[in-house]
Every structure is written in structure tokens, then in C-alpha cells.
Structure 1
């Protein structure tokens, strides 16, 4: 039986990269846009403390996302490689286990989060003034977290089949619904930050229903069968091992934000936390094209690696690194030269504005290096090399950034927190380059050997 996804080994890589990545970019930009719009409406409609509240909530949302990414990224890697190896049975069992594990783990996270809501928010840096806003927002988001996790995990599986446009539509639905409902609930119904949270949950539920329709109606190349939801411990172990790097990348970002928010509260107060919340939205929006690019790259690399087409893997890596580096250089320039145009979109608070503008310029310095780091980490995820993928996921945001954020303020105060970002970007890029060069050289050698063998035949 011929797979629909066989185009991943036949179509030219130069055409495949934009074909799979541009829809992912569009969808992820839309997702980031609604986070930006959410913060703008909250900042303009409720105030600085509400922006600080969603800043405290943001790392908790990232943990929910990380839970889904463990299953989604790990399963997608197995599915794409299984399709490349023509192993249909394993692909189907992996999809079933993805569905079951997502529902169980997301329900556990939501239950735990609701029960320990206030202690968690305190741990994440909420002050007495910020706590009521953060609690109102996260209580509603926890209630809808099952839909959020289901959308993230299943959309990874959709991309693994090469269905980039369907995955894009999933994200556009969520983003569109949220952007439309935000002003209605926040301003029209006067619900403030509660309205922003309700709009987000409705948006996430919409995309989950859309994906449910995709599988129930048999639109997927890998069919969903209820019998495959029965836990297969060998598959779940492989899923966890591969997806753990994605979890730790998201979890590491969350942990680093906890440390950053607590340090900001001590060295800069509520205004500094609000400034960081705004910058997180802006930088997330700026980096989303890169994450969209790597989402398109993963099935290409995973499929062709499974099919032992190593030349296509190296070509895909070179092209994706060039594109991502160009994107990050452009967005880094905007963050450095035009923060005075960006920050006022969210707030006109006289304390927050100068802090945000100053921080943006420091954070922009290392931004051009981020694209390469994301692509290199994506290579290891796609080919199932869990140890380097895990290490790179922890490198920048835990092993380097957290110690700098804890150490530098004792010498430079609040400025030490801002300078920790470019230093960590530069150090992480150097270490990543050392690892990547070794493995890309190995793949290039395999590519040359196979080309020589084919020539001899």
C-alpha cells in the first residue's frame, strides 16, 4: 500500500520546506498573535496588575503545554519514522496511545493545578497585588486544559503525516475564535481578565473539536481505533524518551520564568513583572515563525532518516538553519531598534514603558542565534536521539540562564537580569554548534557513502 506521505521522500527538499513549514508558521503566528492581542486587551481594559497576572500565569500554561508536547512530539517522531519505514501497525498503535495518554495526563495536571492553585501562584512569583488576577485567570484555564492538551498533542500527529495545511487550520481556528471573543468578553460583557480566560478556553475547545472531527471522519492517513488506546508500554516508553526533550524545553522555560519573576519582584517590583510579561508576548510572537519552520522540518527529517535518505536530511537542515537565522536576525533588529513602538501597544504606564524598552534591547542582542539552536534541537528530536535533544532543551534556559539570573543582579541589580539573556544565548549557541557539527558530519558521510554506492550500481 502506498502512503500519502511518500511525497516526503520524493519531492525536492527546497519545495518541501516551504510546503510544510509555511502553513505551520502561519498557524503558530496566529497562535502567538492571539496571545499578543490577549495581553493588549487585558493591559488596556484591566490594567498593569492584570498584565502582571497573566505574566505569572504564563509559565503555568507552558507546563500544561509541555505535558501535551511530551506525548505529541514523541508520538509524531515515531509516526513519521514508521511511515518512512512502511510500518503502518506501529503508526496506528502510536496514535491510539497518544489519544489515551493525553486525556489521562492533562486531567491529572488540571486536578493538581486547581487543588494547589494559590500555593502554585505564590511559588511562581505572584505578589499580594497580582494574586487575585492570576488566580481568576488560571482557574478557568485549568478547567479547559484537557482541550488545550488534546489540540497540541494531536496537531503534532497531523503534521507527522505531512498534513501541514490541516494543522495550520487547527491553529487558525483557535486563534481566530480567541481574537474575536476577547473584546466581546473583556469589554462588551465587562468581564475583565475572567473574560480573557473564558475566550481562551472556548478557542481551545473549538480546535479540539475540529481535530476530533478529523479522526472520527477518517480523514487521517493513520486511522484512530479505540482498541489502540490500550497502553502499549514499549511505545509509551519511546514516546516519553523522545518527547521528554520537548517537555523539558517547555518545562525549563517555565522554571526559568518562575526564577525570573521572583527575581523581578525582588529587584524591580510589579512593574518589572508586567514589563517582562509584555516582552514575553512580543518575543514569543517574533520567534513563532522559527517554531513553525521546525514543525515543518520534523516530518521531513524523521521520514527521510527512517528511509535512510541521508542526503535529504542534511539538505533540509542546511536550508532550515539559513531561513531561521535570517528570520531571527530581522526580528532581533526590530526588538533592538523599535521597542518604543511596540511596548506602548500594551500599556501607557510610566513605570512599565522604560523598563520594557530597556529590557527589549538587551534581549535582542542574542536573538539572531536562536534559530540555529531550535533547528539543531529539532534534528535530534526527529531522528530519535534523546540524550542530545534533552541536553539542548535544558542548556539555555536552565543550565545557563537560571544561574546568571540568580547571580548577576547582586552585582548589577535589575540590569543583571536583562543582560543574562544575551549571555545565555551566546554561550548556548557555541555549545550547540560543537554538538551539531559532529552529528551533521556523520550524516554527511553516510550521504556520501550511499551516493557512491548508488553510483557503483
Structure 2
């Protein structure tokens, strides 16, 4: 076991979380910046309809990403707990089975996704005007999905051994290429929305090559041999069960997009879908660094839970929550203060500005406390508790947001703005539930600490 893994159980929590979270946060920040810049270039060079097409394509991309995140988070949690329990061979076998699983999934995603692409886009709310652009974009994006999903799994595995800088670099390589090549492919070469997709998949491939080189260089704590690729269904079940809540959260988010896009199209037309596309990108840019913090949190919590260092688990929960709330409060300040300036970055269309300014303020109003939701689901996954993780992960979109989107515009006669007001109301309800779940888990950790003291006396 290398020194990075040993530090998870010994180093000061604040210092350790900083060491793991900052690279992960930078990586997520750069990745979110790519999504933002991608949309800005398309909005300026292709037009408002291109933003709407991305709003249709985005939830489909999230489903593809969800498979990688599911296997990645499940593997990181299971492998970290195995390392914490000093079961190194088991950890290697878990990682090997993860790679086998995601390769099979990636091939299926490319095949099925491209074959059924037209009806899928229509299901997600593509209008007659937006469908051709969305098709041109996703038809290319799907080709790179196998490289994306493998890279996502690899980065989670790399973070689980405490080497967050490598994961950050892999994300920065792909994203940096994407941002640099976007204007060249979109405008200079005249590829339009296809150019944005090409830049994306080439960047993903470069990131994939980098992480594969890391594993084959022998620098990783995990030594993946051919024997570790032999299917072990007990390990595969553990990977999928722990990662499943995150998968369902992303799928629920995609189902939410079906409801939201169709509702927005019905009450406000293509421009309302384009506004939602801008809001998605701004939110992703603002929130993704928060997932960097919880990615730093996850290996610390998993390792120490496996090692039965419950005081350290409790400490990292509290410190992470504090960091999340501080960051979110700073972010919301800028979004609430400068909504018009933010929207102008994408396009100066008067309709986009008129509708987008109040909509952006409404949707983001509860952002200071959204970190409670983010941490709750990740906490249970880190501890290997998939059922409560699933409840927390599904609560916002499925239990609260989707019903509110359907009810507020029609039953409460709020029309288009009812769709936007559904978001902060759902956030309030989900924050209450998540806060309760975190508090309950801390009490359980206190009980385990007390029991260990009694057993040791």
C-alpha cells in the first residue's frame, strides 16, 4: 500500500481534504468551464437554436456519463474500503472487474444510442426546429462515449487511492484541447455544431490515453493483472449497488429533462428551452466544483469507515459540509447580482435576455444550501449504504421537482414561470430531507464510537 493510501487514515482531516479536494475541484471546474465555453461558442457562432439543441442533448449525455459515474463511484467506495481493511488483492480484483464492466457498457451505449437516436431526441423534447442540430451533435458525441466512461471510472479509482492530481490532469488535458479547438472547428473550419462534438470526443480520447498510461506505468496503487479481469459477480454486485443511487440520480435528472423540456416547449416555445439550456450550463459551472469537494471527501470517508476510524468519518462529514456551504454562498452572490451579464455571454437575443434574467435568479435562489443535498448522497455511498443513498439521490428530482413542474404551471395557473419556480421549492424540500439524513448518520457514528470504546475497555 502506498503512502497516499496510508495518509487517508492518519493525516489531519482538513489538510487531507484540501489536498484531495482542490485537484478534484479544479478538474471539475475546468470540465464545467468546457460545457460553458462550448455553449457560448455555439450560441455566438451558430445561434440561439444551437443552445436549445444542447439543452436537448445534455440529459442524454448525462445518461451516458451516469454509467461511468455509477461504476466509478461504486468501485472507488468498494476498493477504498478494501484498502482500509488491508485487503489489497480484493481491491485489485474490484478495479479489474470495474474495467471489464464499463468496456461492455460503453460498447452497448454506442450501438444502441446511435441506432435509436432520432426517437430518443424526440422523447427528450426536440422540436422540429431543434431536431436536426441535436442529431448532428449527439450522433458524433456517442462515438466517444466508450472513452468517456472508461476515463470517468479511471479517475474515480485514481482518487480512491489518494492521487487526485492525476485525475485532475486527465480532465484538464481533454477539456483544454476542447476549449482551444472549439472556435477552430465551429467557426474557422465551418463545422458548426458538428465541430463542437468533434472537439469533445477528441478531447475525451486524449484524457483516456493519459489515464491508461498512468495505470500501465506502475505508479498506481492498484496492480491490475489478467486474473483481476475474471468476472466476480459478488464484486460486480457491490460496485453496481453502491454506484446505483448516483446512476438513478442522473437518470432521474434526464427524466426531469423530458418533463422540463416538453413543459417549457409547451408554455414558452423554443426560446424557453434555450433559456433552460443556458441555466443548465451556468448551474453546472457553479455546482461542479462542489462535486470536486465530495470527491475529495469520498476516499477519506470510505477508507476510515473500512478501518473503523469513525471519529475521522464524522470529522470529514462536518468539514466537507462547511466547505460546501461557504463555496455555494459565494457562487450564488455572483449569479444573483449579474444574471443579465452572464446570459449575454451566450447570446444577446432580446427574448433570451428578457426571459433568462428572472428565470436564472429564480432557479438558483436556494443554492447556498444545496451542498447539504450533494453531501448526503455521497456520504451514504462512501459508507457503502446504497439504500439511503438512493432515497437521498432520488428525492429532489423524482419526489419533488417533477411533480412540481407538472402542477405549478397548470393547477396553480403559474404558466411558464411555474416551471422555473418548481426548482427552488424542490430544493427546500430536498434540503430538509438531506439534513435529517446526515444528522441521523452522525448519531449512528457516535453510537459506533461509544461501542468501540466499551469493547476496548
Regions of 4+ moved over 3 Å: 1-4, 448-454
2:119 paired residue number:
119
Cα distance in 1, alignment partners of residues 21 and 248 from structure 2: 23
Relative to structure 2, which stretch is displaced further, 145-154 or 437-446? 437-446
Residue 430 of structure 2 corresponds to: 428
Deviations 1:232-280 (A, max 9, x none): 1110111111010110111111111111011101011100100110111
Q: Are the equivalent residues in 1 in contact too, given 2:2–2:221 (CA < 8 A)? A: no
Aligned residue in 1 for 2:40: 40
User: Deviations 1:205-245 (Å, cap 9, x if unpaired)?
Assistant: 00000011111222210112223222111101111110101
Q: CA deviation at 1:377?
A: 1.2
Matches within 5 A, 1:29-428: 29-410=29-410, 411-428=413-430
- What SS class does the counterpart of residue 350 from structure 2 fall into? coil
Supply the distance in 1 between the matched residues of 2:81 and 2:50 (Cα, whole angstroms): 44
Equivalent position SS for 1:129: coil
State whether structure 2 residue 441 is matched by structure 1 residue 439.
yes
Inter-partner Cα distance in structure 2 for 1:261 and 1:65: 20
| Counterpart-to-counterpart distance in 2, 1:245 and 1:213 | 30
Q: Residues of 2 paired with 1:104 and 1:196: CA distance?
A: 27
Shift of 1:446: 2.4
Corresponding residue of 1:8: 8
TM-score by length of 2: 0.98
Q: For the aligned residues, what is the CA RMSD? A: 1.2
Cα displacement (A) at 1:437: 1.3
Further displaced range: 50-59 or 323-332? 323-332
- Greater Cα shift, 317-326 or 210-219: 210-219
Name structure 2 gaps, 5 residues minimum: none
Matched residue of 1:351: which SS? helix
Matches within 5 A, 1:22-33: 22-33=22-33
Q: By how many angstroms is 1:451 displaced? A: 5.5
| Post-superposition CA distance 1:34-56 (Å, at most 9, x none) | 00000000000100111110110
Gaps of 5+ in 1: none
1:448 shift after superposition: 4.4
For the residue of structure 1 that corresponds to 2:222, the secondary structure is: coil
Q: Structure 1 residue 107: deviation in Å?
A: 1.1
TM-score by length of 1: 0.98
Q: Deviations over 1:15-64 (max 9, x none)?
A: 01101001000000000000000000000010011111011000000000
CA contact (8 A) 2:24 2:296 kept: yes
- Which 10-residue stretch deviates more, 438-447 or 30-39? 438-447
Asked if the contact 1:3–1:83 (Cα under 8 Å) also holds between the matched residues in 2, the reply is no
3-state secondary structure, aligned to 2:259: helix
Superposition deviation, residue 376 in structure 1: 1.5
Secondary structure of residue in 1 paired with 2:223: coil
Number of aligned positions between the proteins? 455
CA deviation map 1:352-387 (0-9, x unaligned): 112111111111221112101111111100000010
**Structure 2: distance between partners of 1:163 and 1:2:** 10
Q: Is the 8 A contact 1:333 1:364 kept in 2?
A: no
Q: What is the distance in 1 between the residues matched to 2:197 and 2:14? A: 41
Q: Secondary structure at the match of 1:144?
A: helix
